Structure 1
Amino acid sequence: MTKDHGPSIKDDEQYEALRDEGMSKEKAARIANTDRQAAGRRGGNAQTYDDQTKQELYDKAKDVGIEGRSKMSKDELIEALRDH
């Protein structure tokens, strides 16, 4: 039986599955609260991380609050952004 995570989580079942896979609470909640139909319509326009400069990656890491970003290489920034 799926646990009720309160009104802040729209899809409790998906949230639990993502948490079981080891995803952070924040990321699991963000994904579980995404309207799937709207997400499918808006996707596909972003550059891949590999195509971005180190400065662009650094700026994105700064926006999402990744600690230690100033000492990271481009590959480390990519990994940190993907794991966030």
Structure 2
Amino acid sequence: MPDPRIKNEAQYEALVSKGYSKEKSARIANTPDAGEKGGRARPYEEWTKDELYQQARKVGVSGRSYMNKKSLIKSLRTN
């Protein structure tokens, strides 16, 4: 039975099967635009610092309030 807290169940299952933790898989599957393909999602360099901060907040990046734009981008890419 699908978990109602997971927005993109197929993506979640694919990430878990690749070896991602359940927590990280859930964060990715619940992030808006996470599954966009074909260049529709803008690169992080084009985002404002506030947009990056909000995205970091959604995925649970700790220490985000002390980060500059470059650090937010790095954290979002590695988280």
> Alignment length, in residue pairs?
59
**Equivalent residue in structure 2 for 1:47, among 42, 49, 60:** 42
Q: Is the alpha carbon distance of 1:48 and 1:15 closer, same or farther for their aligned partners in structure 2, counting shifts above 3 Å?
A: same
d(CA) in 2 for partners of 1:83, 1:64: 11
Q: Which residue type is aligned with residue 56 of structure 2?
A: A
Give the drift of 1:10: 5.0
Task: Return the index of the structure with the highest Cα Rg.
Answer: 1
d(CA) in 1 for partners of 2:57, 2:72: 10
1:10-34 deviations in whole A, cap 9, x for unaligned?
Answer: 56xx725xxxxxxx5355x57xxxx
Q: TM-score, normalised by structure 1?
A: 0.55
Q: What's the C-alpha RMSD, in Å, of the aligned pairs? A: 2.7
Structure 1 runs (4+) deviating above 6 angstroms are: none
d(CA) in 1 for partners of 2:50, 2:78: 19
Structure 1 residue ranges without an equivalent (≥5): 1-8, 17-23, 31-38
Q: TM-score, normalised by structure 2?
A: 0.58
**Equivalent residue in structure 2 for 1:57, among 52, 55, 58:** 52
